[in-house]
Amino acid sequence: MGYDDVITYLGDFGRYQKQIYFLLCLPAISCAFHKLAGVFLLARPDFRCVLPFENDTSNFESFPKSQWNLSYPYDSTTEQFQTCEYFDVNYSDDYLNNGLAPLPGGGLNETNTRHCDHYVYDQSTYKSSAVTEWNMVCSRALLSATSDSLFMVGVLLGSIIFGQLSDRYGRKPIFFASLVIQEIFGVLAGVAPEYFTYTVSRMIVGATTSGVFLVAYVIAMEMVGTSYRLFAGVACQMFFSVGFMLTAGFAYFIRDWRWLQIALTLPGLLFMCYHWIIPESARWLLSKGRKDEAIVVIEKAAQVNNVKIPSEVYENLIEDSTQKKNEDEANKNSRDKNSASVFDLLRYPNMRRKTLIIFFDWFVNSGVYYGLSWNTNNLGGNVLLNFMISGAVEIPAYSFLLLTLNRWGRRTILCGCMLAAGVALLLTIIVPGEMNWLVILFAMIGKLAITASYGTIYIFSAEQFPTVVRNVALGASSMVARIGGILAPYLNLLGQIWRPLPLIICGALAFLGGLLSLLLPETHNKPMPETMEDGENFGKHRKPSDLNETGEELTSMVSSSSRHQNGKTK
């Protein structure tokens, strides 16, 4: 008898579970602050070179628009002034007032321009950002993308480090350790004197988002019965979307990047009080043989839910916990030696094809999701409104999943959403320049669709991989997804060359991913593959003779110790 048997008495989603679940979803809001803050912390407002005749009191707005063509080169391709350099001419009053062109006919070449040493920035939207403070524009623009990219490297490392620590030392202590580290380095990023300290601090904060959000998510999911897990998993993501939108609210009232970073960090202090409210995961306690502590948690839940758990349930639970612990210790070396690895997914044609497609889908979903989330500054129009809408569209996306995922099937939703995102984003190519609102509309449709797709890929992948390698395969998929997130800031940097370019690349990737996903088998209402042989046969159309040959080969590869996991799912 295990914890799932206790759930039958407590209820799949009783009053106690609802209370704790709600509290554990709130940290998702704080983690969204940190993941999306870079849009405003590293905002790049309009800027221009400080011209030779200007002084330190010059500002962006003071220079007359009528004289821009006399000072800065104009690129007819992008239809923008190239404000990283200026004409190397004598800026006399006669030159500026009479409107003399630097060369006859307005022709330009490298010999009559100079690169900037100092810049002034438009402060109508942002009073300051890390970009304006450290002049991360023009030849230094790569620094801002690298900072965001290293933040996502931190998220990747955090998912590995804090995930393992929570399995070893418990969910609750790692949650609070991550929270303390997040608060310290979140504030440090806000007072950082230079780029290096800021970037390293933000990278550590990125790592702690895994320790805070993912560990809280695991505690919440381990308390919920199977009939509510789809709802609980999707609803938790909606709290992240709420944090997404609230980030724009902070940025609206706080225009200085340092105070904004600190303001987004301090709400995390509220979760310190969870130490006296949130219990350790009873599932984890039982898995470690700490039965007395697990019973205390279960009895508390039973009291709040106003139910009575028979004493024989506790007795069987104790016996089961002790027996399981002994069996795990006795068989640990055998399992580690004989169980299949993620590399086995690439050894056989059908498994290899499905695995590579799933990895590509994770890469695309993560890269496009973060690419669109961080690209709102490049869309034109009201930056804060664009960002707010980008977060708001996630709510109907997740609601759509709740209504359709168990009705229409996983592959239908995944392929349909990725194709819809691809088409919407690619349509931005044909939008006339004067209809920027239509570009924003297509971008938001793409964001809604890719959010729904991203929410689907978790479930779809878990049902594709065999039980013997499911956990490590999902871990590998998540790592591939992080690579997409790491590259997303550099993708958005291309928007400074040509504004629609990031949207076009995201659209092409999403469309390709949607087409490739059609090659994956549907998993809804299908038995999940248990062994590597099941995984190879699942979704494969072959002749009976081929089936026998491959089956014998796979049977010899998979050990009997891997088969003991039949009937179990992640």
Which one of 101, 116, 131 terminates a domain?
Answer: 116
* Judgement on whether residues 36 and 59 belong to the same structural domain of the protein: no
Is 503 within the bounds of a domain?
Answer: yes
Based on the fold, state whether residues 384 and 471 are members of the same structural domain: yes
Nearest-angstrom CA–CA distance, 317 and 294: 10
Q: What number of other Cβ atoms are within 10 A of residue 51's Cβ?
A: 18
**Among 177, 176, 143, 179, which residue's Cα sits nearest to residue 34?**
179
- Is the domain of 134 the same as that of 206? yes
Position 330 in a domain: no
pLDDT tens readout for residues 370-396: 999 988 887 877 889 999 999 999 999
H-helix segments, 374-466 = 383-392, 394-408, 410-426, 436-464
Least confident of 317-326, 342-351, 410-419, 436-445: 317-326
Look at residues 275, 295, 321 and tell me which one is the last residue of a structural domain. 275
377 and 259 assigned to the same domain = no
Top-ranked range on mean pLDDT: pick from 305-319, 354-368, 518-532: 354-368
pLDDT score of 547 more than 50: no
Closest CA to 45 of 146, 115, 144: 144
Assess whether 447 and 522 both reside in one domain: yes
The average confidence (pLDDT) of the chain is: 83
d(CA 400, CA 449): 10
Question: Same domain for 127 and 223?
Answer: yes
pLDDT tens, 41-72? 999 988 888 888 887 667 877 778 778 888 88
Instruction: For residues 315-337, give the mean pLDDT.
Output: 53
pLDDT confidence bin for 341, thresholds 50/70/90: low
Q: Looking at the predicted structure, is the pLDDT value of residue 107 above 70? A: no
Q: Which pLDDT band, with edges at 50, 70 and 90, does 210 fall under?
A: confident
Which of 259, 275, 291 is the last residue in one of the domains? 275
> What are 525-545's pLDDT values in tens digits?
787 777 778 778 877 764 444
Answer yes or no: is 378 within a domain.
yes
Determine the pLDDT at residue 1: 54
How many structural domains does the chain have? 3
pLDDT digits (tens, 9 = 90+) for 449-474: 999 999 888 888 878 888 777 767 87
Write the DSSP assignment of 473-532 as a string of letters: HHHHHHHHHHHHHHHHHHHHHGGGT-TTHHHHHHHHHHHHHHHHHTTSPP-TTSPPP-SH
Residue 291 located in a structural domain: no
The answer to whether residue 158 sits within a structural domain is yes
Lowest-pLDDT range of 58-67, 93-102, 340-349, 515-524: 93-102
- Chain centroid to Cα 492, Å, comes to 15
Residues 445 and 467 in one domain: yes
User: Minimal CA–CA distance to 280: which of 223, 212, 235?
Assistant: 223
**What pLDDT does 99 receive?**
60
**Per-residue pLDDT averaged across 304-330, rounded?**
66
Same domain, residue pair 89 and 131: no
The residue among 526 and 298 whose pLDDT is bigger is 298
Residues 353 and 485 reside in one and the same domain: yes
What pLDDT sits at residue 228? 83
pTM over 0.85: no
What is the tens place of the pLDDT at every residue in 229-255? Answer: 788 888 888 999 999 999 999 999 999
Task: Report yes or no on 570 lying in a domain.
Answer: no
> Is residue 68 in some structural domain?
yes
For residues 152-160, average pLDDT:
90
> Both 370 and 400 in a single domain?
yes
Q: Is residue 3 part of a domain?
A: no
Range of the domain at 256: 15-43+123-275
Task: CATH number of the domain at 462, please.
Answer: 1.20.1250.20
Q: Are 34 and 60 found together in one domain?
A: no
Q: Does one domain contain both 245 and 131?
A: yes
- Find the mean pLDDT for residues 393-409: 90
Q: How high is the pLDDT of residue 340?
A: 61
